[in-house]
Amino acid sequence: MDLLSNLALGFGVALQPGNLLYCFIGVFVGTLVGVLPGIGPVAAMSLLLPVTFNITPEGAIIMLAGIYYGSMYGGSTTAILVNIPGEAASVVTCIDGHQMAKQGRAGPALGIAAIGSFLAGTVALVGLMLLAPTLARWAVTFGPADYFSLMILGLCVLTYLSHGSLLKALVMAMLGLILGLIGLDSITGVPRLTFDRLELIDGVGLVPIVMGLFGIAEILNNLERPPVRQVLATGLRHLLPSRQDWKQSAGPLSRGSVLGFFLGILPGGGAVISSFLSYAMEKRLSRTPERFGKGAIEGVAGPEAANNAAAGGAFIPLLTLGIPPNVVMALLLGAFIVHGVQPGPLMMGQNPGLFWGIVASMYIGNVLLLILNLPLIGMWVQVLKVPYKLLFPLITLFCVIGAYSVSGAIFDIYIMIGFGVLGYSMRKFGYEPAPLVLAFVLGPLMENNLRKSLILSQGDFTVFVTRPISLTCLTLAALLLLSALIPWLNKKRRRIALDGA
């Protein structure tokens, strides 16, 4: 009964005309940035974050959340029609989705991607409604030491699952933590790492950093190697999958939804890993694995369900623990804080309208996305034909406006450009920006919880190993790092042995 009354409260908030409009804007922009390669939800959300400063917290979070899960829908369109993933989570969809388009079956591929995304989003929302209250009640028992150790575990999981070298991911995480220290000390008021620059007294802004790392850097990367686009827009008249398509897709949709939801909850899990694991699982379970890579509809249904369910699952640790599991959620955490709301176990009791309004808006957004991605597919095909020579200058202009509008300082534009060049250079050497951003957001929270823990324990560091939750988190973090170091040490030992021989 409580669940029904909470949902009624949530839909009452989400169906307000203003919030309904923000929901539509969010999912529309999300679909747009998903369709257009080289932008992504992080850059789009950071661009629109300053716009939300003058609207209600409900409207702001509803719109920004819509951009995130909307981009998952849009990314499949580009992957299927152009063989270029519009969003990182749609990389796997290219494999069989584009082959279906080549066979004149782009319509069923887009149809199963959109309908499967809707079903997976619904599964994720049901899971969110059932798990969030229980997890929030449990999280109320967390102390500062538990939160600190949980954040350490989250950073370790993210660095462990990052692409490429673990050492490079750790370097990026350390850089993010250092950037989070810039500004006045929250307790003593002593300037830290400001180098006597007044512009750094309040620290470095999240928006200029994210716009630089994910917006400007992506533009520079695409200018160097502009992707060749050939839109295969044949077979779009019949978007609804056939009975045979449904028969082949039912299992992958179900399995992908469940897998994606639970992986989305984990720090660093996210939509990308979910889609890859779903594809691998479906190929292994299939009686005809040789069809995969040649236009198997299961290779579209499973990954698309997984990445959309993961997008919904990612909201659970953010809303109930106040800990973002990925970069997008870190940006959303920044939006919460800007609007004076601290997500976590107390949010459900202190701001029930906001919490359940977000949940209800996600279901409304999924319905809107189904409408946007099926009947209006012709419009997105035309968007795909926009030349990059027009697109990139516009994106750059919007990034500059967005960075400046945060605090009205030219210095923020310089920061954005600097991090854009840094992000472009880092990718050249295999350094992923995601650990940096997540560590930058979590850094101040970790510092506050560390200080609270030591104040409560009167400087006794054993508080982190005497509390069961804290000890468990630190043990798991240590095991993760060891599991990554052991193969590296074995490889080095074999190399020394070969050199000696």
Where do we find the tokens 């747009």?
32
pLDDT at 22 over 90: yes
CA atoms within 13 A on the CB side of 18: 10
Residue 192 phi, psi (nearest 5): -125, 125
Per the structure, the complete domain to which residue 263 belongs is given by 2-500
pLDDT at 491 over 70: no
Q: In the predicted model, what is the mean pLDDT of residues 167-182?
A: 85
Question: Could you tell me the two tokens for 177?
Answer: 């933590």
Q: In the predicted model, what is the mean pLDDT of residues 25-34?
A: 87
Distances (CA, A) of 205 to 24, 53, 192, 367: 28, 14, 15, 35
State the sign of the Cα–Cα–Cα–Cα dihedral 263, 269, 272, 273.
negative
Q: Tally Cβ neighbours within 10 Å of residue 201.
A: 12
Where do we find the tokens 């919007």?
398
pLDDT at position 230: 55
pLDDT at position 228: 55
Separation between Cα atoms, residue 331 and residue 433, nearest integer Å: 13
Instruction: Give residue 369's identity as a one-letter amino acid code.
Output: L
Range in 125-129, 340-344, 405-409 with the lowest mean pLDDT: 405-409
Residue of 243, 377, 356, 363 lying closest to 308 (CA atoms): 363
Asked if 279 contacts 95 with a C-beta cutoff of 8 angstroms, the reply is: yes
pLDDT at position 62: 92
Q: What is the pLDDT of residues 135-144, one digit of tens each?
A: 877 777 778 8
Q: Give the CA angle between residues 262, 77, 425 to the nearest 5°.
A: 75
Q: How many helices (H) and strands (E) does the chain have?
A: 23, 2
Distances (CA, A) of 3 to 11, 130, 338, 361: 12, 9, 29, 16
State the sign of the Cα–Cα–Cα–Cα dihedral 34, 36, 37, 38.
negative
Q: What is the pLDDT of residues 305-321, one digit of tens each?
A: 888 888 888 888 888 88
State the sign of the Cα–Cα–Cα–Cα dihedral 80, 85, 90, 92.
positive
Q: In the predicted model, what is the mean pLDDT of residues 175-181?
A: 88
For the chain, the domain total comes to: 1
Q: Can you say whether residue 268 is alpha, beta or left, with left for phi > 0 and alpha for psi between -120 and 50 degrees?
A: left
Separation between Cα atoms, residue 282 and residue 293, nearest integer Å: 12
